[in-house]
Structure 1
Amino acid sequence: MKHRQGRSPLQLLIHELGKFGLVGGVCYAIDFLVSNLCHTLLGMGPLSAKTISTVIAATFSYIGNRQWSFNHRARTGLRREYTLFFILNVVGLVIALGCLGFARYVLDLRGVLAFNLFGNVLGTGLGTVFRFWAYKKWVFLHPDDPKAAPRADLPTELPARVPEHAGRI
């Protein structure tokens, strides 16, 4: 079954995962660097450092995902999208903080390695899986979803092959 973008559901999923992964990689680097800067250099507690880094990375993530990863999906309004995006990122943050808090306060692992392993690898990884699923389901809707507003700026058919210059940063 082909979608109106001329791609099968599997091709569309792979396309979205690739873009989501690139945006996520940049945002992961931001999250990792800011959390370590706050925790190790500024002496902030691990949960505070992770919260600040996640808020900064999530802001970049929203812009990248809205403008690039899911730009072919329907728009339902900035207020609705950003509110849901914010709520879902809070859930993702709770997942990361849960992993980090468990390591710190239950297992009593206090080193930088434990901070990064539980907060920046395991917690962020689990939160990312949740966010990808949730963004597709609630934030960046399929154009056929009843809540999706038609977008006049999108063609009804997307090219089967993306031009060479498309998506370059």
Structure 2
Amino acid sequence: MAVVESVLARVPEPLRSVLIKHRELLKFAIVGGTTFLVDNGVWYLLKLTVLSTKPTTAKAIAIIIATIVSYILNREWSFRTRGGRERAHEAALFFLISGVAVVVNLIPLLASRYVFDLERPHVSLFVQETADFISGSVIGMLLAMVFRFWGLRKWVFPDELGRRHRDSELAGAPRA
């Protein structure tokens, strides 16, 4: 039994129907949760060690690593029945959308640090780290997630291409 099916088996029926209807979104959210952990783990590892004076750079590196993980998981799991482009073209579109999402993700952190001066010595270390987490890992990530889901469904893994490939597989034609 697949991960999603085992989770859905434990969910009460009224909610289960909604989740099944939005299975792709559920998988995207699970991938997002996984990449959230990767992103924040790498960010704090870098930010608290080698890039302690460059939190935005540390966040950008963490986002890039999480984006690579995201591409693999989304391609092979969340949107596996969609798309159908040549992998290099698809990957280029994915990383283009994700590059824009990196900028979207960094805007709240940049504003927190450099517009609102929520950094030391203007505020305590606790306030700085709380502001960094809320702006970079909550607000920024939520904005980027909404943009990514929309962009990936629309341009990277469009259903029209996936439908064509599913139809050709059903007809017995080899998949390109």
TM-score of the superposed pair, with normalisation by structure 2: 0.75
Residues 12, 154 of structure 1: alpha-carbon distance in 2 compared, 3 angstrom cutoff:
farther
In 1, Cα distance between the equivalents of 2:53 and 2:88? 32
Offset at 1:79?
1.1
Distance 1:87 1:16, change over 3 A: same
Report the equivalent of 2:144: 127
The letter of the residue matching 1:80 is: H
Aligned-partner SS, 2:117:
coil
Contact 2:81–2:166 under 8 Å retained in 1: no
Equivalent residues, number:
145
Structure 1 segments (4+ residues) deviating >2 Å: 10-13, 147-156
Identity level (%): 37
User: Does 2:135 match 1:118?
Assistant: yes
Report how far residue 74 of structure 1 moved.
3.1
Please report how far the alpha carbon of residue 112 of structure 1 lies from its aligned counterpart in structure 2 after TM superposition.
Answer: 1.2
1:85 maps to 94
2:19–2:26: 8 Å Cα contact kept in structure 1?
Answer: no
Residue identity matched to 2:100: V
Q: Whole-Å Cα distance in 1 between the matches of residues 96 and 102 of structure 2?
A: 10
Q: Residues 154 and 105 from structure 1, CA distance in 2 versus in 1: closer, same or farther, beyond 3 angstroms? A: farther
Amino acid at match of 1:20: F
Root-mean-square deviation (Å) = 2.3
- Which protein has the bigger helix share? 2
Gap change, CA 1:148 and 1:76, over 3 Å in 2: farther
- Per the alignment, in what secondary structure is the counterpart of residue 72 of structure 1? coil
Q: Which structure ranks higher in relative contact order (CA pairs < 8 Å, sequence separation ≥ 6)?
A: 1
CA contact (8 A) 1:72 1:154 kept: no
Secondary structure of the corresponding residue to residue 165 of structure 2: coil
Correspondent of 2:156 among 139, 142, 165:
139
The match for 1:35 is 43
Deviation per CA, 1:56-89: give whole Å up to 9, x if none. Answer: 0000000000000001113111111111111111
